[in-house]
Amino acid sequence: MLVYLITQTLNGLFSAALLFLIASGLTLAFGVMKIVNIAHGSFYMLGVYVAYTVIQRTQSLLLGSLVAIAVVAAVGFVMQRVFLRRFAADPLAQMMMTMGFALLFRDAALMIWGGDPFTLQYPAVLRGSMEAGDVVFPWYRLFVIIVAALVGVALWTINERTLIGARLRATVDDPEMASATGINVAQLSGLVFAAGAGLAAFGGVMGGPILGGYTGVDFDLLPLAFVVVIIGGMGSLKGALVGSIVVGMIDNFGKALVPELSYFTLFAPMILVLALKPTGLYGRA
Amino acid sequence: MAGRRPGRNSVAIALAVALLVVAPPLLPSYWVGLLTQMVILAILAMSLDILLGYTGLPSLGHAAFFGVAAYAVAVLSVRYGANFWVCVLGGILIGTLLSAVLGLIVSHVRDVYFLMITLAIGMVLWGLGHRWIPVTGGDNGISGIPPLEVHAGLPFQGPLALHYATLVVFLICAGLMRLVVRSPFGLTLRGIRENEGRMKSLGFNTWLHCYLSFVVAGAFASVSGVMWAYYNGFVSPTYLDLTASSELFLMVTLGGPSTLVGPMIGAGAIVLLKNVMSAYTARWLLILGIVYIVAILAAPQGLWNLRKRPSA
């Protein structure tokens, strides 16, 4: 029983790690630009597909990650600067636009890579499982948990300890005041959007060996990421972290215990949080 | 508001009558089917417009009520062999009840938060349709719903009979929705959209108005879902998914929110585009994606509002 509990908790942490990589970009884009980015799952998907192409040629997960992050961040940057920026004051128009991009990316991916599902290869070092007593847990999943934790620490450091982070926090708090004090909000927005896209792509590469790439992966993960952001509070990194862990755990235990209702089990905490605190755990109105 | 052009409206009505009433007997049944689709989805798009256009609550999960009502008809008619009126009333009741329950959760939320929460709720319901296989049949959906005219025992059969039956339902719904948006209740909704704080200080219970708006929209979406189940004879989780909800959203924003005519035009345009384009190309999603982007760039206020001066 205890072994089962520990294994499931570790699995939950693995889901949480992936969710955190996806949701942190989503929540920051929302905080700075009020963008409800329907295409955020597509960034994850594009990350898997780009990495797939690179890894097939080079057998390197590291190289795959780097190229995927760079390509998808560039896509995100162009999307924000050329299209979304025109509708900075209109969240609905921005949302519709990202919806358009989500459909476009999905079909483009289908056109370029075909519809066959695949999983990414990963280094032999990470194959096999860790064994501690009766608990058996794959090394790769542990690796992802650690990497996500490192990314979390890095994001936290940037957010709390650097000038860019200070500007970012100021903009999340009050974009107009921030821009009045000389912060280049437009530039920052592009940067945040690109970084969020890159992070989601990285999430895709990290999840690729387990979840793989297939048509529809974009919209499979999107609602989970949204639930994370809603629970944690929009615009809050800490919220994304806590939300990821909550959703990762619930999703995992829900799938293990009541598989038919697995999606439904996510619903309860969301309603609870919304009823008690409509802005989410760490969000501000 | 005051400066409506009566000329434009009567031209639109004449065109609609010609297309929907006069033309069907002259058209091949494929095109009659398309017109029926447009009419059913127009009800759905108008129902979303009550929320999105009139109340200013952008719901990205509105297809859920449509889908749940369609599922209710499918389950009742195929699994339980229920008769026509049980199916129809059951579908509408279940969809409306669902919106009454979900409305309790979402009615205190506004703007982008509303968008995100309805999106998540819609996806959860989609997940339920997808995974709750004993009831919903999972990915395979449920097929074998009897045609409307057979199930209802109408003396006439075939696509034409179905089309005119749908048209009657559409006219009733459109008339009712017109009553709703022009009533004092509808005016209050518009007031909330423009300035909720002011409506509150005038003594209006804005939560209750938003809640009722959500339920009314859910009820009409359910009617549309019931019709769709009968039209299509088949339900599947794709009715509930995000693509369905956002297509619906596009119908309203493309046509022109906070006019009931706009969503009808939007529904017609999307149905036409979808069917015609998918006959010629497999890259339908790509084109739809481009339509979204171009529509927002070119006509952010919607087609029907294009000729009006942009309001501040």
The answer to whether the Cβ–Cβ distance between B120 and A223 falls below 8 Å is: yes
The tens digit of pLDDT for each residue in A53-98 reads 999 999 889 999 999 999 999 999 999 999 998 887 788 888 889 9
* A265 has a pLDDT exceeding 80: no
Shortest Cα–Cα distance, A247 to chain B (Å): 13
The pLDDT, as a whole number, for residue A144 is: 94
Rounded Cα–Cα distance for residues A269 and A266 (Å) = 6
Q: Residue B5: which pLDDT band, with cuts at 50, 70 and 90? A: low
Looking at residue B307, its pLDDT comes to 62
Domain holding B155, by residue range, is 31-241
Record: contact B127-A219, CB cut-off 8 A? no
Chain A neighbors of B60, CB-CB under 8 A: 95
Mutation for testing the A interface, residue in B48, B49, B112, B305 having most A CBs under 10 Å = B112
Look up the pTM and report it.
Answer: 0.86
- A108 CB neighbours in chain B (<8 A) are 286
Inform me whether the pLDDT recorded for A139 exceeds 80. yes
Residues 190-229, chain A, touching B (beta carbon < 8 A): 219, 222-223, 226-227, 229
> Are the Cβ atoms of A103 and B285 closer than 8 angstroms?
yes
Residue B120: closest C-alpha in chain A: A223
Question: Chain A to chain B, count of Cβ pairs less than 8 Å apart?
Answer: 131
Q: Which of residues 224-253 of A touch B (CB under 8 A)?
A: 226-227, 229-230, 234
Whether residue A268 is predicted with pLDDT greater than 60 in this model: the reply is yes
- Name the minimum distance, in Å, from the CA of B287 to any CA of chain A: 7
For residue A150, give the H/E element and its range: helix A139-161
Contact status, residue B229 vs residue B237, Cβ threshold 8 Å: no
Average pLDDT across chain A, whole number: 89
In a domain, B35, yes or no: yes
Best of A33, A36, A84 to disrupt the B interface by mutation (most B CBs within 10 Å)? A36
**Which chain A residues are closer than 8 Å to B290 by Cβ?**
100, 104
User: What is the CA angle A251-A149-A220, rounded to 5?
Assistant: 35
Classify residue B32 by burial, with Cβ atoms within 10 Å: 0-12, 13-18, 19+.
buried
Partner residue facing B249 (CB), from A96, A229, A230: A96
Cβ-nearest to B116 among A36, A111, A266 = A36
Do the chains contact at B242 and A227, CB–CB below 8 Å?
no
Confidence of residue B177 (pLDDT cuts 50, 70, 90): very high
Domain-located, residue B309: no
More confident residue, B301 or B85: B85
pLDDT of residue B13: 78
Chain B residues touching residue A278 (CB < 8 angstroms): 108-109, 113
Angle CA(A242)–CA(A244)–CA(A245) in degrees, nearest 5? 65
Neighbour count for residue B294 (Cβ, 10 Å): 12
Reported confidence tier of residue B312, pLDDT bands at 50, 70, 90: very low
B191 min Cα distance to partner chain A (Å): 19
Q: Which of B109, B124, B289 sits opposite A263 (nearest CB)?
A: B124
- Under the banding of pLDDT at 50, 70 and 90, the label for residue A285 is low
Residue B258, domain member (yes or no): no
Distance (Å, whole) CA A56 – CA A208:
13
Q: What is the torsion angle, in degrees rounded to the nearest 10, for the CA atoms of residue A22, residue A24, residue A26 and residue A31?
A: 180
Inter-chain residue contact B243 with A219, CB threshold 8 Å: yes
Select the residue of B113, B119, B283 nearest A278 (Cβ to Cβ): B113
Burial class from Cβ neighbours inside 10 Å (0-12, 13-18, 19+) for residue A224 reads buried
For B20, which DSSP code?
I
| Chain B residues close to A95, C-beta within 8 Å | 58, 60, 112, 115
Residues in chain A closer than 8 A to B258 (CB atoms): none
Cα B132–B104–A28 angle (5° rounding)?
Answer: 80
Mean pLDDT of the A139-157 span: 94
Q: Read off the pLDDT band of B114 (50, 70, 90).
A: confident
Verify whether the Cβ–Cβ distance B296 to A87 is below 8 Å: yes
- Nearest residue on chain B to A98, judged by CA atoms? B293
With an 8 Å Cβ cutoff, are A30 and B296 in contact? no
Is B288 among the domain residues?
Answer: no
Are B241 and A95 in contact (CB < 8 Å)?
A: no
The answer, for A4 touching chain B at a CB cutoff of 8 Å, is no
Number of Cβ atoms within 10 Å of the Cβ of B172:
12
Q: How far is B293 from chain A (nearest CA, A)?
A: 5
User: Which residues of chain B have a CB within 8 Å of the CB of A262?
Assistant: 127, 131
Q: Are B142 and B75 in contact (CB under 8 A)?
A: yes
pLDDT of B68-90, one tens digit each?
Answer: 999 999 999 988 988 899 999 99
What chain A residue is nearest to B292 in terms of C-alpha separation?
A: A100
Q: What is the band of B2 on the pLDDT scale with cuts at 50, 70, 90? A: very low
DSSP state of B257: T
Half-sphere exposure of B226 (CA within 13 A, CB side): 29
Q: How many domains does chain B have?
A: 1
Minimum CA–CA partner of B287 in chain A: A104
Q: Return the pLDDT at A12.
A: 93
Yes or no, beta carbons of A104 and B117 under 8 Å apart:
no
Does this complex have an ipTM over 0.85? Answer: no
Which pLDDT score, from 0 to 100, does residue B10 have? 78
The reply to whether A21 touches chain B by the CB within 8 Å rule is no
Task: Pick from B254, B291, B292 the residue to mutate for testing the A interface (most A CBs within 10 Å).
Answer: B292
Say yes or no to pLDDT of A254 above 90. Answer: no
Residue B255 lies in a domain: no
Number of H helices, E strands in chain B: 14, 2
At B246-259, the pLDDT tens digits run: 889 889 988 888 88
CB contact under 8 A, A96 and B250: yes
Q: Is the pLDDT of residue B238 over 60?
A: yes
Task: Name residue A154's amino acid.
Answer: A
**pLDDT tens digit string along B8-62?**
777 877 888 888 888 888 888 889 999 999 999 999 999 999 999 999 999 988 9
The reported pLDDT for the residue numbered B4 is 52
Residue A262 pLDDT > 80: no
Question: What are the pLDDT digits (tens) for B117-142?
Answer: 888 788 878 878 887 888 888 888 89
The full set of domain ranges for chain A reads: 15-215
User: Does B302 fall in a domain?
Assistant: no
Binned at pLDDT 50, 70 and 90, residue B6 comes out as low
